[in-house]
């Protein structure tokens, strides 16, 4: 059967690999900016607070447009929405290399964030739709692990290209690769995906209101927002942390350590998906590993180099497990049946990224005002403080039939 006619619920490795590849390049364009923050300090006159705004602007775009992306996916179809997102993000990232100031770079990164929002949740919904109940977890974990692999490439290549050829090429090259990924997905993704014009429950149609008002989805989102922020701040700020706090480190060493955080969550993603399909209460997994992540972030400013490497590697491994379970759980909720998965994941990401963008800006402000030690303590404490919200999440039994996509 050709990819263009592959039915939903039947394994479709070709389209899955295409989306995995797009997810890798998508993540590259999240993290290549973090690798060149010291260059932006020098060439665009950006201090720590300005760098926080550049990073936060992207997250604002991602966060604000997650829910609209889910609604568009219901009306346009997951495939069409995801492809539009890839195209917009690629164009914006390609243009970012021409930014004449940090303010204009922040504006362009906001547009890139809008494109990222349109791609992520609809693409995850597509991946879930290609596999039957009980087999979604590892595939969702693999898809999410592509973010880790791409983030690693972004950190390493961003630092290498930026130092050798300048920061504009480091950013523009990532955008060009996104446009290539969009072309590949256009050719390989099944065309059976169709718009769903119905917006209220009834006759098997998805209920936008049920998803948007779901206590479980909101509680899940809030509980892991601090975790999301801590992981993002480690990956994005670690190169600058090394530059400021450990001036003896080379930029390559700091980038390699940051890349280790991101990369090790790639193999742990499918493991997390496998665990998530088998446990009776996924909240316990999220709470336990979320607390571990907060503790590892708290330890960062107090560790020597060898212990610090071990700390961030462990943090990356836990990151992959948590995100796989986090994105798997909404596919089992009653609210997401009949086509609501993209919208539910969009709500999760919208809440986490919107609040996370504020946390990223606050993190940068704390760095400028009080130093990195206080900033890491802030990240870890916030991560711990929000976890109790998991008590309001209703997790169906692991053996329950997951939400379906028609």
For 171-183, what is each residue's pLDDT tens digit?
999 999 999 999 9
What are the CA-CA distances from residue 5 to residues 8, 14, 193, 331, 341 (Å)?
9, 12, 10, 24, 22
Q: What is the phi/psi pair of residue 292, to 5°?
A: -60, -45
Q: Spell out the domain ranges in the chain.
A: 12-191+206-392
pLDDT over 60 at 400, yes or no: no
Q: What is the pLDDT of residue 10?
A: 58
What DSSP character marks residue 252?
A: H
Distance CA 120, CA 98 (A): 26
b/e code 62-94 from CB counts within 10 Å (16+ = b): bbbbbbbbbbbbbebbbbbbbbbbbbbbbbbbb
Exposed, middle or buried by CB within 10 Å (0-12, 13-18, 19+), for 392?
middle
Q: What is the pLDDT of residue 237?
A: 84
Helix (H) or strand (E) holding 19: helix 13-35
Distance CA 339, CA 287 (A): 28
Average pLDDT over residues 307-330: 89
What are the CA-CA distances from residue 46 to residues 29, 95, 144, 234, 331 (Å)?
20, 19, 32, 19, 42
Q: What is the pLDDT of residue 171?
A: 93
CB atoms within 10 A of CB 156: 21
Task: Report which of residues 163 and 382 the model is more confident about.
Answer: 382
Average pLDDT over residues 261-278: 84
Distance CA 401, CA 136 (A): 11
Q: What is the phi/psi pair of residue 262, to 5°?
A: -75, -40
The tokens describing 320, both together, are 């992959």
pLDDT over 50 at 398, yes or no: no
Q: What is the pLDDT of residue 133?
A: 67
Q: What is the pLDDT of residue 405?
A: 41
CATH architecture of 12-191+206-392: Up-down Bundle (1.20)
pLDDT over 70 at 148, yes or no: yes
Band (pLDDT 50/70/90 cuts) for residue 198 is very low
DSSP string, 35-46: HTHHHHHHHS--
- The gap between the terminal CA atoms of the chain, to the nearest Å, is 19
- DSSP, collapsed to helix, strand or coil, labels residue 391 as helix
Residues comprising the chain, all counted: 406
117-131, 236-250, 294-308: which range is least confident on average? Answer: 236-250
CA dihedral of residues 109, 114, 117, 118 (deg, nearest 10): -140
Q: Choose among 65, 29, 63: nearest CA to 180.
A: 29
């Amino acid at each position: 059967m050709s990819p263009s006619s592959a039915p939903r619920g039947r394994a479709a490795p070709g389209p899955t690999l295409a989306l995995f590849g797009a997810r890798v390049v998508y993540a590259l364009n999240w993290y290549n900016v973090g690798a060149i923050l010291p260059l932006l300090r020098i060439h665009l006159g950006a201090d720590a607070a300005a760098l926080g705004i550049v990073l936060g602007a992207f997250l604002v775009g991602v966060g604000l447009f997650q829910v609209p992306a889910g609604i568009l996916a219901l009306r346009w179809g997951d495939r069409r929405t995801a492809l539009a997102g890839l195209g917009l993000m690629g164009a914006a990232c390609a243009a970012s290399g021409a930014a004449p100031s940090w303010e204009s770079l922040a504006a362009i990164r906001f547009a890139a964030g809008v494109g990222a929002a349109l791609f992520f949740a609809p693409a995850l919904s597509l991946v879930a739709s290609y596999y039957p109940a009980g087999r979604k977890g590892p595939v969702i974990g693999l898809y999410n692990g592509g973010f880790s692999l791409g983030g690693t490439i972004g950190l390493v290549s961003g630092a290498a290209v930026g130092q050798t050829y300048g920061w504009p090429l480091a950013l523009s090259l990532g955008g060009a690769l996104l446009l290539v990924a969009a072309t590949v997905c256009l050719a390989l993704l099944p065309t059976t995906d169709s718009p769903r014009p119905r917006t209220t429950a009834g006759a098997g149609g998805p209920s936008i209101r049920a998803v948007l008002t779901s206590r479980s989805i909101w509680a899940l989102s809030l509980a892991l927002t601090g975790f999301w922020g801590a992981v993002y701040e480690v990956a994005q700020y670690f190169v600058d942390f090394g530059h400021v706090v450990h001036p003896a480190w080379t930029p390559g060493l700091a980038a390699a350590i940051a890349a280790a955080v991101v990369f090790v969550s790639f193999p742990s993603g499918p493991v997390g998906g496998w665990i998530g399909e088998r446990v009776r209460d996924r909240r316990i997994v999220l709470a336990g590993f979320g607390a571990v992540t907060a503790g590892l972030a708290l330890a960062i400013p107090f560790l020597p180099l060898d212990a610090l490497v071990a700390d961030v590697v462990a943090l990356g491994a836990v990151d992959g497990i948590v995100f796989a379970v986090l994105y798997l759980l909404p596919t089992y909720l009653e609210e997401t049946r009949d086509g609501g998965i993209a919208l539910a994941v969009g709500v999760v990401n919208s809440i986490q990224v919107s609040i996370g963008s504020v946390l990223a800006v606050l993190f940068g402000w704390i760095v400028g005002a009080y130093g990195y030690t206080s900033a890491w303590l802030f990240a870890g404490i916030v991560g711990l403080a929000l976890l109790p919200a998991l008590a309001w999440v209703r997790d169906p039994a692991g053996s329950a039939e997951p939400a379906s996509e028609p």
